[in-house]
């Protein structure tokens, strides 16, 4: 399944403004609400960063973190001290950033926050299993159950295919 099909399945929309597009930024809106009336948005920047875009000055980086190369500084008495910092691992390729964002969103938004999806189009695993059990006890399985099973299986397959990006 290609990236476009995955995004359509997950109902991820491009909501970039013309200015963002001009700067090489792409903003994606998920069908999951954060708060009462705002949807989760994530962005891919041409600089290699991927970020959560949900809070004005509190946007945070979603890139994996890694230790920097050691740096040294000299004290007044002539001794040297070594230090390292944690920095973001940049993703220079747009396609790789998009794959990383899909994997991140599946793991951290779709699976962990399954009950917050707008309009109830995404069904959590426990709800699906409960509905399936209910249908099996009445011995009538509706087409809705088969559709839910297929959608859940596809989402789980995408998540498993993205294991290389999970951190």
Tens-digit pLDDT profile for residues 13-30: 999 999 999 999 999 999
Summarised one tens digit per residue, pLDDT across range 123-163 is 666 777 777 777 777 766 566 666 777 777 777 777 777 66
More confident residue, 121 or 85: 85
Which residue ranges make up each domain of the chain?
A: 3-63+93-165
- Strand partners for 87: 66
Element (H, E) at 155: helix 143-161
Helix axes 125-138, 143-161, angle to 10 degrees: 150
pLDDT by residue (tens digit) across 61-85? 899 999 988 999 999 999 999 999 9
């Amino acid at each position: 399944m290609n990236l476009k099909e995955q995004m359509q399945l997950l109902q991820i929309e491009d909501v970039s403004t013309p200015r963002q597009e001009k700067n090489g930024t792409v903003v994606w809106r998920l069908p999951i609400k954060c708060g009462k009336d705002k949807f989760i948005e994530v962005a891919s920047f041409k600089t290699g960063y991927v970020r959560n875009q949900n809070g004005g000055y509190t946007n945070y980086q979603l890139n994996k973190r890694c230790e920097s190369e050691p740096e040294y500084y000299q004290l007044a008495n002539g001794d040297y001290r070594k230090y390292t910092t944690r920095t973001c691992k940049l993703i220079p390729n747009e396609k790789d950033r998009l794959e990383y964002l899909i994997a991140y969103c599946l793991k951290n938004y779709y699976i962990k926050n399954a009950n917050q999806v707008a309009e109830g189009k995404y069904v959590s695993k426990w709800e699906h299993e409960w509905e399936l059990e209910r249908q099996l006890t009445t011995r009538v399985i509706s087409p809705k159950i088969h559709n839910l099973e297929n959608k859940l299986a596809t989402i789980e397959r995408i998540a498993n295919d993205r294991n290389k990006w999970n951190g």
